[in-house]
Amino acid sequence: MEPVTIGVEEEYLLLDAETGLPVSAGEQVRAAAGATATLGEDELRTELLQVQAKVATPVCEELEEVGGHLLRLRLALGAAAEAQGCRLAACGTPPLRGGSSAPVTAEARYRAMLTQAPQLVAEHLISGMHVHASVPDREVGVAVLNRLRGWLPVLVAMSANSPLWDGQDTGFASWRTVILDRWPVSGPPPAFRDAADEAGRIETLLRSGIIRDTGQLYWQASLSDRHPTVDVRCCDVQLRADEAVMFAGIVRALVATAIQETAAGRPTPASHPEVLQAATWQAARHGLSGHLITATGERISAGDAVARLMEHLTPSVDAAGDTREVTALVHRLLRQGTPADRQRRALGEGGLTAVTDLITGETTAQ
């Protein structure tokens, strides 16, 4: 089997360092960052709202590469943000929103989304991370998607980094997941018979006009139109770059395991859509602080869910040479809690100012 290569996209918010409010400086920050020799043109991406920024790493073969690129991108974009009077924030939702809607980036597809669902766009102040993992072809990619579906709620729980909204604790560890699930095509991906079935069902959605393009397929995992990759986007953006590296290693191992199971002809585990939807809600609600729901509807502790995931991944993590780094980072996560837990601790100890300091400080921590 060919090694699975990976790439990571991260979305960030731009916050005022004093007030914690979102700052509409995305265009200026991208321009300032792009003017340096540190960032390549294809590493900077536009986002829906002008209070956001987005980066993408090159294709990587090693986790060390992923970590190096993410830290470089965060530091460069962070410096550009500072130069524009704001700070880069790797949080799934802003602690505060402010009284007025953020302006939409001046692109046709974003304007169309604003026309279609103005209130959803106004509240789309959310940041995630996407892991792109290579697959041999689209047919195998569909089989991989079908095998990934049952594990996505665990990743939602582990990556939770958006507990606050409008200055209040939402009671959810990942409020971003709840917001994103309001769009018409979102949540856990459906099971597909094969690549033709996947293509046909997407074509039906496009023909219906409910989505303008495949960029509005907000499933938690899908196949790329442009590259032979599975794109997993269920995770909140992570506070620290090394936490993002952990998820890159986990997703790569999930994809490699699914490819091997498909080649061996192993049956695909059943994952009913209503159970996966409920499991996702439970994961978004509690993170790792409660019980999670498995793809078969079993209620287990979050610690057991993570243990099952890691047991499932062990051979592929070992084969990629990622065992030491991924295992150490998972153990740290279980000790310290999710980024949502850390935001809540900061809120309890020092209020919203402490939360803003935590988020903006960790975003560019080395």
DSSP class of residue 275 equals H
CA angle, 178 then 180 then 186, to 5°: 110
22-72 tens-digit pLDDT: 999 999 999 898 877 678 778 998 999 999 999 999 999 999 999 999 999
Nearest in space to 122 (alpha carbons), one of 142, 146, 104: 104
- Give dist(CA 216, CA 100) in Å, integer: 25
Model confidence pLDDT, tens digit, residues 101-160: 889 998 999 999 999 999 999 999 999 999 999 999 999 999 999 999 999 999 999 999
CA 259 remoteness from chain centre: 22
pLDDT score of 37: 66
Average pLDDT, integer, range 7-25: 94
H or E, element range at 143: helix 138-148
Contact 193, 199 (CB under 8 A): no
Decide: 153 and 283 in contact? Cβ < 8 Å: yes
How do residues 289-339 score in pLDDT, each as one tens digit? 999 999 999 999 999 999 999 999 999 999 999 999 999 999 999 999 999
Domains of the chain (ranges; CATH) run: 6-363 (3.30.590.20)
- Residues in the chain, total: 366
Task: Kindly give, in sequence order, each residue whose CB lies less than 8 Å from that of residue 143, ignoring residues fewer than 6 positions away.
Answer: 258, 262, 268
- The average pLDDT across 354-366 equals 95
Mean pLDDT value of segment 244-265 = 98
The span from the CA of 287 to the CA of 153, in Å, is: 9
Q: How many CA atoms lie within 13 A of 339 on its CB side?
A: 34
Q: What is the mean pLDDT of the chain?
A: 95
Q: How far is 337 from 329, CA to CA, in rounded Å?
A: 11
Q: Quick check: 189 pLDDT over 70?
A: yes
Measured CA to CA, the distance from residue 152 to residue 158 in angstroms comes to 10
Q: Mean pLDDT, to the nearest integer, of 153-180?
A: 98
C-alpha–C-alpha distance, residues 218 and 340, integer Å: 22
Angle ∠(300,306,308) on CA atoms, nearest 5: 75
pLDDT per position as a tens digit, 272-290: 999 999 999 999 999 999 9
Whether 364 shows a pLDDT value over 80: the answer reads: yes
Asked if pLDDT for residue 100 goes beyond 80, the answer is: no
Cα 67 to Cα 213: distance, rounded to the nearest angstrom: 31
Q: How large a percentage of the chain has pLDDT more than 70?
A: 100
Of 128, 302, 19, 214, nearest to 294 (Cα)? 302
